[in-house]
Amino acid sequence: MAVYFECTTRTSMPKAELFDLARSIDAHKDSMARSREDAVAGVRTGLISLGEEVTWRAWHFGVPIRMTSRITQMEAPDSFVDEQVKGPFRRFRHVHEFGEDPEGTIMVDRIEFVAPFGPLGRVAEKLVLARYLRKLIEARNRHLTAAPQR
């Protein structure tokens, strides 16, 4: 069974600018410096677009992880979807949505994943992994919205 959660971020940044920042490989690397995340294959710098892939190498829970994601849907500047094509999850899908707000932009991240654990791992999936991923997304979003406008 999949685990699902959402993160909502509000900012005064214009929607199109935040859309591009959210698909920037460089901004992602900067936001994930604590986990030493780096793009090691595919699109390694600049903006990732529909049909393109990136392979990330990072350290999470003290373990080196590699994950390849592909942009499977994109409706600029309203949304894009990245999905794992190779990596540690049985399934990982991240929907990024951008809407206008009287004060700027609302960014909603919708994450759905199935970890590689069997039935005994469901508790770890929800209590540990979902909490960890939510904190990563929230930290990334704070970094993106605090970034100087480019």
What does the domain layout of the chain look like in residue ranges? 3-146
Q: Let me know if 105 is exposed, middle or buried by CB neighbors in 10 A (0-12, 13-18, 19+).
A: buried
User: What's phi and psi for 127, nearest 5 deg?
Assistant: -85, -35
- Per DSSP (E only), the strands in 1-150 are 3-11, 38-42, 53-60, 63-75, 79-86, 91-101, 104-114
Tens digit of pLDDT for each residue in 129-144?
999 999 999 999 999 9
pLDDT for the residue numbered 150: 46
User: At CA 94, angle to CA 119 and CA 125, rounded to 5?
Assistant: 20
pTM (predicted TM-score): 0.93
- Which architecture characterizes domain 3-146 according to CATH? 2-Layer Sandwich (3.30)
Segment 50-54 shows an average pLDDT of: 98
